[in-house]
Chains A and B, each alone.
Chain A
Amino acid sequence: MSSNKGVRSKTFHFMLLLFASIISVYPLFWVVIQSLKTETEFLKSIWTLPSQLNFNNYALAWTQGGISRYFMNSVVVTVTTTIVNIVFITLAGYSFAKLNFRFKTFLYYMVIFNLLIPTAIILLPMYMMINELSLNNTLPALVFPYFQGFAPLGLTICRNYFQDLPDELMEAGKLDGCSNFRVFWNIMLPLASPIIATMVILSSMQVWNEYLWALISITDITKYTLSVGVALFNEKVGTIGYTPVFAALSLSALVIVVVYLLMQKHFVDSIAAGAVKE
């Protein structure tokens, strides 16, 4: 009786998870399938499989659609921003966790405060600042605002991590005659590699997917990031057809899905670590 009930509820759980998985995966799967068809095939029926694999749409999106350029721009922006994020935040996180100086709490909250400011409030002020400094269409116009977006979360998790490292390590280093900076560089930093890996993943995802700020601060089409470029390409569906757009969408989605599948555990752990209480 009881085991019968158990089997029934297991079956119910299974069916529900199966249904939810299909809803989760099918939209992307459908787009990938359509991207491999010709435009006429697609317009004839949206449910059939491609009669033969056709990668023309990808070639079209990649070269004529400019996706290759947007892709490279996004790589440059993501790598540069992530380096800045990691260097600035690791330094600040250690300082806030382990060093003593005046106004420490106040300065810490100066950074964390940004969590309370919805993007909408700071958008125009930041845009006018970029204008004033004549930074439009440059790398710094993206890097520093992105740093600002990442800093509150990054600093919280990084500071917490350093705080949990025992002070005895610092004392031991100091007794050996290390300066404060040497203690950080030679002893503490090597121990921080897990949190740095987490920050690299969180920062890369955030920057790679960002849209609004890139849309505002980059007006030169040759400097568009992938998000802005794909959205623009999607607008042109009427003139270039659906299937090349599907190719562009598949390409930008699959890149992340593949990276995720390759390092699933790191991804999941990092995202879970990012959901912290402030």
Chain B
Amino acid sequence: MSKTNSKYEAGKSREAALGYAMIAPTITSFIIFLYIPFVNALKTSFYKYNGLGDLVDFVGFKNFANVLADPRFARSLLNTAQLMAISMVALPLGFILAYFLYKGVPGKKIFNTALFIPYLISMVVVGCIWRIIYDPTIGPLNQILKSAGLGSIAIAWLSRPQTALLAISVTWIWRTTPFNMLILYSSLMKMPSDILEAAEIDGANGLKRILHIVVPYLSSTFGVLFMLTVTNALRMFDLIWVMTKGGPGGASDVITSYIYTKAFTNLDFGGGTAASVLLMLLMIGIMIIKEIVTRILRRREAA
């Protein structure tokens, strides 16, 4: 009895040893390239540092004060929030396209392929292409506007502070709608057809059917896409950098381009890491609020 038991124990510890060995490469890489740098960043944010050599010039909270007093930092946060809000348009757009494809039209396969093309092109190439589209003289957009007699609104879209961010948002929606379409379409294809048939027998008309049956059916998919839209907006950099570099004068700066400029153009790594740390605190704050709100809602539901 004790012999089999110890054999069993040995099997357990062998299994654990293999378990650790198999995750070791992943965990090691995360410690070296994520967790140690993260701790170092906390330290760097208290130093005046240009990115080279050792940390020697301790400045206390000065970097944090500078960043908080920098109007460009606030601007980049607001711009990121604005982009996040505008990019939500890609959800209903993606849904409409997915639903029409699902309902079936002649040439559905071709439409499906064509509509997905923007998502295949890298953000950098998309940015380069759209920079030319928005070009004030040679760009197709303004040439179309001019020939349609709308020359007065044919402006330099990307070099005006009022329009730069909006123009980039349009490009962003153009690039992200196909992704939402694809995901919603593949969820729709899994929808049991009797759900729709039952509604048709009940006499629900088209729009009612969509709003009361199809959209609720897709709610968890919408939830995933919503979260992806939020995180993608937070990560946004490529399009901004290729199209405007955050300009003119910070008008289209987002969080990432602000931090990049601070560190690599102004050579202020202390300030850049301080901005990163502030961003992290903001994220934690948002998550705590989200958690509190969900708890309150849940309690109310239970009551």
Q: How many residues of B contact A (CB 8 A)?
A: 93
Known: A211-B237, A253-B125, A264-B113. A180 touches B18 (CB 8 A): yes
List residues of chain A with CB within 8 A of the CB of B279. 118, 120-121
Chain A residue with minimal CB distance to B175?
A24
Cβ-defined contact, B19 with A122, below 8 A: no
List residues of chain B with CB within 8 A of the CB of A119. 235, 237, 256
Chain B residue with minimal CB distance to A43?
B138
Cβ-defined contact, A122 with B37, below 8 A: yes
Q: In the complex, what distance in Å separates the CA atom of A153 from the CA atom of B188?
A: 23
Say if the beta carbon of A175 comes within 8 Å of chain B.
no
Known: A121-B276, A129-B37. A88 touches B231 (CB 8 A): no
Q: Taking chain A's interface residues, is the majority helix, strand, or loop, or is none over half, making it mixed?
A: helix
Q: In the complex, what distance in Å separates the CA atom of A180 from the CA atom of B149?
A: 74
List residues of chain A with CB within 8 A of the CB of B138. 43, 46, 242
Contact digits for B180-203, partner A, Cβ 8 Å, 1 yes 0 no: 001100100000000000000000
Cβ-defined contact, A125 with B124, below 8 A: no
List residues of chain A with CB within 8 A of the CB of B150. none
List residues of chain A with CB within 8 A of the CB of B27. 92, 107, 110-111
List residues of chain B with CB within 8 A of the CB of A101. 15-16, 19-20
Q: In the complex, what distance in Å separates the CA atom of A38 from the CA atom of B249?
A: 35
Known: A96-B23, A212-B238. A181 touches B18 (CB 8 A): yes
List residues of chain B with CB within 8 A of the CB of A181. 18
Cβ-defined contact, A23 with B174, below 8 A: yes
Say if the beta carbon of A266 comes within 8 Å of chain B.
no
Cβ-defined contact, B113 with A28, below 8 A: no
Chain B residue with minimal CB distance to A246?
B132
Say if the beta carbon of A252 comes within 8 Å of chain B.
yes
Say if the beta carbon of A218 comes within 8 Å of chain B.
no
Residues of B250-303 contacting chain A, CB below 8 A: 255-256, 259-260, 263-264, 269, 272-273, 275-277, 279-280, 283, 287
Chain A residue with minimal CB distance to B276?
A121
Instruction: Select one of A47, A91, A215, A256 contacting B22, CB under 8 A.
Output: A91
Say if the beta carbon of B122 comes within 8 Å of chain A.
yes
Cβ-defined contact, B26 with A88, below 8 A: yes
Instruction: Select one of A116, A179, A257 contacting B283, CB under 8 A.
Output: A116
Q: In angstroms, how far is the closest chain A Cβ from the Cβ of B56? A: 15
Chain B residue with minimal CB distance to A212?
B237
Cβ-defined contact, B237 with A99, below 8 A: no
Say if the beta carbon of B32 comes within 8 Å of chain A.
yes
Residues of B111-156 contacting chain A, CB below 8 A: 111, 113-118, 120-125, 127-133, 138, 140, 143
Contact digits for A168-185, partner B, Cβ 8 Å, 1 yes 0 no: 000000000001110010
Cβ-defined contact, A256 with B264, below 8 A: no
| Leading 10 A-B pairs by shortest Cβ distance | A125-B37, A125-B41, A209-B122, A99-B19, A95-B22, A101-B19, A101-B16, A21-B114, A91-B22, A120-B256
Q: List 12 A-B contacts (CB under 8 A).
A: A21-B110, A21-B115, A99-B19, A119-B256, A120-B256, A121-B279, A122-B37, A124-B259, A127-B51, A151-B26, A253-B121, A275-B183
